[in-house]
Amino acid sequence: MSGDTITHEAAATAAQPTGKHETPFTQSRAARELGLRRSEFDLAVHLGHIRTLPDEGGGGRRVARTEIERLRAQKGFPEALRERVTAVGTAGATKVMEVTAARFTRLARLGLVVPVHFYLNRYRAVVWLYLTDELKDFASDAKNTDLLNRSLPGNLREQLEAGVDLRPRNWRGRHLGFLLRRAEDPWERAAAVASLLDPFQVSDIVGDPYERAHLNRFRQLPPAHGAPASPAARLAERITTAQDADEIEWLRADLARAVDEARNHCPAPRPAPRPARPEHPAGAERPRGLLGRFFGRST
C-alpha cells in the first residue's frame, strides 16, 4: 500500500454457481473476485467490511462465496468498496484536507486523526497511512474549522512542545479493536490483549506456563519489518508494543481479566499425569533383573 490514493480497474469475474462450488475462497482469490489489491483487501478485513471464516483445514482464514455476493450486490460496487479502504500518507492527506504538511502532522501527533496502517520505508522512516473517508469527515466538520485554519490553542501547542505523539498509541488501539473483532474464543480475546504487551509483562500476569503456552497459540504478531533484531524490527516493535505507563497498566488489567474469563470458560490443556509406579508390599518378591534370572537373586 503506497502513501497515495490507489486507483485501478476492477477485475470482472462471474458469480460462481451453487452446489459443488460452495467451497470458500482463499483470501487471495477473494481479493481478485472483488477487484481489490491484496493490501486493500487486508485493510477491508481489518476494518470489518469483509467477513472471513476460519479454515477447517488450518490453512488460514477464507471468505464465503455468499460474502462475495453480498459485497457485489452493494450499491456502487466496486468503486464504493475501494473508496472505503483508500488510505493515504501525509502528502495525500494534505490534499484531501487542504492543509500544509506541517499542520497535518501536528494534528496527527495530537491524536485528532488516527492512522490505520504504517510501514517503514527504505530509510527506516515510519510512514503512517490514514483513511481518506475519515480525513474528509474531519475536514468537513465545522467544529474543526479553527484547527485547520487558525493557530492551535495554547494547551495543544504545549503538548506538541512537550513531544507528544499519539500516532503509535492510537494505531495500537485500532489494531486491538481489529483483533478483538476477529476473536471467536475467550482465549483468543485474551491473546489479542497480550499481543500489545511485551513477553515480560505477559509472563508477570500469566504465571502458569501451560496457560501462557495456550495463550501464545492464539497470539497474532504484526507482520515482520526487517530481519529479527535489526534496527527496523526494533523500531516496529516499539510501535506495536505498549510504551506508556498508563497504557501498560490498562492492558495488564484487561489481560488479567480476560485470562480469568478464559480459564473459567475452558481451562488451558495440561499434559496427562504420569501413572504412579506400583509399590510392593513388605516381604513380596521383587521383580528380578537380568542378572537375577541367571543367578536366582534380585538385582
pLDDT tens for each residue of 74-111: 999 999 999 999 999 999 999 999 999 999 999 999 99
- Asked which of 165, 196, 212 is the last residue of a domain, the reply is 165
Supply the pLDDT for residue 35. 94
Amino acid at 266: C
Most confident by average pLDDT, 1-15, 21-35, 198-212, 223-237 = 198-212
In this structure, is residue 51 part of a structural domain? yes
Instruction: State whether 96 and 152 are in the same domain.
Output: yes
Does residue 155 share a domain with residue 98? yes
Cα distance between residue 43 and residue 50, in whole Å: 9
**pLDDT value, residue 184:** 87
Helix (H) or strand (E) run with residue 223 in it: none
Q: What is the pLDDT of residue 21?
A: 58
Look at residues 100, 131, 165 and tell me which one is the last residue of a structural domain: 165
93/80 same-domain check: no
Question: What is the number of domains present in the chain?
Answer: 3
Average pLDDT taken over every residue of the chain: 86
Band of residue 142 on the pLDDT scale cut at 50, 70, 90: very high
Q: Answer yes or no: do 224 and 255 share one domain.
A: yes
Indicate whether 286 belongs to any domain: no
pLDDT of residue 19: 47
Question: For the purposes of burial, counting CB atoms within 10 Å of the CB of 18, is it exposed (0-12), middle (13-18) or buried (19 or more)?
Answer: exposed
Asked whether residue 79 falls in the same domain as residue 138, the answer is no
* DSSP per-residue letters across 153-189: PHHHHHHHHTT---HHHHHHHHHHHHHHHH--SHHHH
- The Cα–Cα gap between 166 and 108 comes to 7
First-to-last C-alpha distance (Å) of the chain: 73
Residue 98: predicted pLDDT: 96
Indicate if 93 and 110 belong to the same structural domain.
yes
Sign of CA dihedral 226, 230, 232, 236: positive
Q: Output phi, psi for 225, to 5 deg.
A: -125, 95
- Mean pLDDT along residues 147-166: 96
Residue 5 lies in a domain: no
The one-letter amino acid code at 88 reads V
pLDDT tens string 18-56 = 444 578 999 999 999 999 999 999 999 999 999 998 877
119 and 154 in one domain? yes
pLDDT by residue (tens digit) across 235-285?
999 999 999 999 999 999 999 999 999 999 999 998 877 776 766 565 555
The residue range of the domain holding 190 is: 184-265
Sign of the C-alpha dihedral computed for residues 168, 174, 175 and 180 taken in this order: positive
pLDDT at 220: 78
Distance CA 251, CA 43 (A): 24
| In a shared domain, residues 79 and 103 | no
Tell whether pTM > 0.85: no
Establish if 278 belongs to a structural domain: no
Q: What is the mean pLDDT of residues 103-124?
A: 95
Per 3-state DSSP, what percentage of the chain is helix, strand, and coil (rounded to 5)? 50, 5, 45
In angstroms, rounded to a whole number, what is the distance separating the alpha carbons of residues 298 and 294?
Answer: 10
Last residue of a domain, one of 84, 99, 122: 84
Q: What is the per-residue burial (b if ≥16 Cβ within 10 Å, else e) of 105-139?
A: bbbbbbeebbbbbbbbeeeeebbbbbbbebbeebb
Rounded Cα–Cα distance for residues 166 and 207 (Å): 31
Residue 170 lies in a domain: no
Phi-psi region of 55 (alpha: psi -120 to 50; beta: other; left: phi over 0): beta
